Structure 1
Amino acid sequence: MNLGTRKLLDRSFTSVGIGSIVIMALALMVVLVPIVTNGLGAVFFTGTVEHRKMLLSEFNRGDSRELETAIASSDRYRAKVYEMLSGFESEMAAMTPERQDEYRPKYGQVKTAVQALLGPLPGDPEPMLTRFKYGQTRWEKAEEKLHDLLYETKWDNSDPNAMSKEYFANRSESFAGTSLVKLFPYVRENMSNMLLPEFTVYWGFITDSSVDSHIFGGIWPEIQGTFFLAVGAMLFAFPLGVIAAVYFTEYAKSGFFNSMLRSANSTLAGVPSIVFGMFGLAFFINTLKVSESKSVIAGSLTLAIMILPTIIRAAEEAILAVPKTYREASLSLGSTKWNTIATVILPAALPGILTGGVISLGRAAGETAPIIFTAAVSVGSAIGLADVFSSPTPALSWNIYNLASEHEAAAQIRHVQYGMVLALVSIVLLLNLSAIVLRARISKKLKG
């Protein structure tokens, strides 16, 4: 190969490598940017007076005097809405039965939309669910509810050769000639006066428990549960993994038994995570009876079995990377084999071992399938350290899936879903970053 061809190939491979890195970076940006922007919206947003009501009532947080002044200001504008609704009800009572039947379902939709926007109307019974005790707590959701009040969804079926097309019609047209027609422009023009929006920084999203299935409140139980499960898994898996790695590298001899153990370890690394979840339910809960049902301890043991092959492999590679001269020098000075392993080999391999352990910790924090049957619940409060042996816990990974796919109001709590995803991604990234920093510091210390 001549020099010109070699240079051309080198440049080509360099271009392909740089291009791959750029594509991966762009793909990562496409994924992370929506997560970060929408996730931050759970903490930084434009809140309404209804949000301040909720904070004072549910968490006893806020200035009650300032809130009373805001409520009084808001009620002055809301009173006109309630007066229009009451006036139309009186007007409808004087209509013929046929016209009443015509307006009653339409008016029911208007009344429901007003309740969703502003909260319970005067004279309404106390709602059972917390979500119905308040109007819209976030300004962007209030704008969506305003649209639902002002417009009704209709479908155009005029073209038999095409699918029906959705369009929005002014709801006020359905009440033309009645007193209620004035309601719609009034609400549109005075919504900010009725809800008093202001920029809000809600750190309680991280520190508060959820209220009414994450309609309100925060995600602290999920963060704490994730921490308990991941750390618990490491407490079981890390020492066992290091001991197994020491056995494979320092004591095991070539043979059928050793080959079988290595094959089993490699096979475990490729088992789908849902299988570990079923195994944890069958073995730790139903057979060993570590707990009566789901619990943190059962979930931690299941996650420990899942990450154990990764820890063994990482520790094994780190030990094998220690130069043989270290062993030879220690043994030549009269040290025993075990003393050499404990005082020379393991300290030298510590950066690689810790890196593998922290990466495994990040994986344990992000797994969903192994904890579905062993530890996770959809809704729950934060548990104490003494409860890990008997109580299940919410966890970020499981609750993200649950809120996105099974929650009855999934579309209304997108900010909570993205906030959980951002919290989980941040935890995993911080764990990986800590592994890099820890490895660098230990390596520097070992080099002197």
Structure 2
Amino acid sequence: MFIYAMFQQYFPYELRGHAHKYTQKLVTYFYPYIQITFHELTGEKLKRSDAYFAIQNYLADHTTATAKRLKADVVKGSKSLVLTMDDHEQVSDTFAGVTLVWSKESSKQKHSYSGKDKVYKLTFNRKHRDLVTGTYLKHVVDEGNAISQQHRQRKLYANGSKKSYTGSSTASWSHIVFKHPASFDTLAIDPARKREIMDDLLAFSKSEEYYARIGKAWKRGYLLYGPPGTGKTTMIAAIANFLSYDIYDLELTAVKDNSDLRKLLIEISSKAVVVIEDIDCSLEITGQRKKKKKESEEEKEGEDGNGDEEVESEDETESSSKVTLSGLLNIIDGIWSASGGERVIIFTTNHVEKLDEALIRKGRMDKHIELSYCDFEGFKVLAKNYLSIETHPLFEVVRGLLEKTKVSPADVAESLMQKAVEEDADICLNRLIRDLESKSAKEGEQSKEA
């Protein structure tokens, strides 16, 4: 302190800057540590830094056990409390045998509207510079983003339209919190098929580098088809829960034209399941509209009276949505499909034979999954879910009836559901047997009449 005071008083002011510069160089030469600072607010508009929050998530998960002072907070979009380092706290982390030190403090720069922003500082020995800048920081950001994905509240989006400041309508997404409890454990399908689908989804979610290497957009298409009540919607919810993805429920009839369809696609985040349910019904009003209108006009030419009124109604139908089949194909597999990554696109239909081959070919819909009537393996899953039993003397009776009766898993589940507190497994299974026998008798009568 004495030397510094003498320096300030007697050393020429004009030379102090040069002296400070060379002093810093001297200290740097002997001081073996490097420090990297990550600000919470960055850029000209002081947006919140993605890197800062990835580091926050990483440290909250990896180093809170060693921190002496923690701060608990409810982070927007998270489904639980988040514990983070308090200000002026310091923790250490070990990576590849190297110890690194993280500290948190307030920035010296003050912003008029947000107060002081926070900073994380990473300190490490300079001999580990290549390890830290080349591997460690990428590891921290990737881990932090993965942790954020696990703890965040997932959302269910639906498309609609909103008024812009000019008064025109524009396509947009709205959302609610997604809380569907479905999982692959509760799906009434063969366990081997479940495992196959889960393995396929897991491989896709870890294949970013592979898709980049082969030059394809990081997406995968699933076509779910089968009779009503066979679990297509439940399968979608199970896929979203398994991957921890958001769901975007795209209603084509609510999309004005191809331009709005592209806008909606661009706004879809990564790690998303994009769903178009009953795609055969959607295509009835899009790809086939012109053909239907032409046939309708030909029929009207031979009729008198209400022809003009009918044409006007058809025109109104056409103007409500002008999405075309080619426009839909372009967002699925065209150049616009690369506008975002890690997306699962799912079509559902009750009538796969009605779909255009171009829509469901391999490369667009990579995996075709048939969800058919309930078999014995599916029944056992439902019995475990609804009655908490894995075996019962009546199972063989049910097996025989399922082999000769076409019944959906939804119908089986309805029969197994306990309607009152006093109902047990025997009552529910006997009700299912009666329902199956009744359905089998009806099917027999119908086949005789045919």
Alignment TM-score, normalising by the size of structure 2: 0.23
**More strand, by proportion:** 2
- Structure scoring higher RCO (CA < 8 A, sep ≥ 6) equals 1
User: Structure 1-normalised TM-score?
Assistant: 0.23
